[in-house]
Amino acid sequence: MLSLKSPAKINLFLRVIGRRPDGYHELASLFQTIDLHDTISFIEADKDVLRCNDPSLATTEANLVARARQLFKQKTGIERFFSIHLEKQIPMQAGLGGGSSNAATTLWALNQLCGRPASEMELASWGSELGSDVSFFLSTGTAYCTGRGEILQSFPSLEQQNLLIVKPSQGLSTPQVYGKLDFSQLNPQDPKAALASFFLGNPLYFNDLEIPAFQVMPELATLKEKLVGLGFSTVLMSGSGSSFFCLGEGNVSDLSGLQMFPTCYINRKPGHWY
């Protein structure tokens, strides 16, 4: 049996470069894995099973864990069966990459259990067939991602931060947020300059998906203002929302109706999982 963390991510900055002919958007984003995580257990069995502690998440073949298991078998030609238990903690529709992380963790786990027929780079490339963010979770935890998000450049770990994830009860649909993008309102920041600035100790936090997300859910703009007023040094929506990450110190004692997760950055070493 193998039991693994399946970590969430945040986007420290996210630039949308433009729309692509395939309907996706060209991105440039610095991704970071965080210690807020689901837990997935894998055991070899005589048939494929998938169970989940959260009844709202379908455990059919459409589930990203089941799709990753299927893809692994198809790519490797290995005919073995696995019983998988998914313990969810990462909120869904939050911009935290929970489903993508679950898919990446499944590819990693099955590869371990089958004697590592694939390299980490192959797993990352297979992952991109399951979703734009899946490859990132096969990086070592800090990566500059371009293309749909699947082209990775790994970076060394960043300095640890006091990090709080705040998630309102309502979630957001990623395609709906992208659908509201106004290309005249994108951040003019050069993402390569932003990246260099990060590693020179002058981080710049921005997310081109905040404005369209605030249009879909206007309460999010109010929540951001409220969080900024609590004293945090940075408050930024993660991915396509609806969660925010807050850096620094803030007094959250009066906040109600929100899920809050104090957490930190995590990274992994090549050859090891989180």
| Position among 25, 37, 88, 224 found at the interface with ligand C5P (CB under 6 A) | 25
Residue 146 binding ligand C5P, by CB under 6 A: no
Distances (CA, A) of 136 to 30, 125, 200, 213, 272: 10, 10, 23, 23, 15
Nearer to ligand C5P, 24 or 273 (CB): 24
Residue 98 binding ligand C5P, by CB under 6 A: no
- Catalytic entry in 88, 133, 208, 224: 133
User: What are residue 236's DSSP bridge partners?
Assistant: 245
CB of 207 to ligand C5P, least distance (A): 14
Q: Is 133 a catalytic residue?
A: yes
User: Rounded to 5, what percent of the chain is helix, strand, coil?
Assistant: 30, 30, 40
CB of 127 to ligand C5P, least distance (A): 11
Residue 149 binding ligand C5P, by CB under 6 A: yes
| Position among 2, 5, 24, 258 found at the interface with ligand C5P (CB under 6 A) | 24
Residue type at 168? Answer: P
Residue type at 198? Answer: F
Q: Is 35 a catalytic residue?
A: no
Residue 27 binding ligand C5P, by CB under 6 A: yes
Helix and strand totals (H; E) in the chain: 7, 11
Q: 261: closest CA among 174, 167, 145?
A: 167
Nearer to ligand C5P, 239 or 250 (CB): 239
Q: 274: closest CA among 146, 140, 174?
A: 140
Residue 174 binding ligand C5P, by CB under 6 A: yes
Residue 21 binding ligand C5P, by CB under 6 A: no
Whole-angstrom distance, CA of residue 82 vs CA of residue 168: 35
| Position among 75, 157, 178, 226 found at the interface with ligand C5P (CB under 6 A) | 178
Residues 115-144 that bind ligand C5P (CB under 6 A): 131-133
Paired tokens of 260: 């809050």
**Which residues are annotated as catalytic?**
9, 133
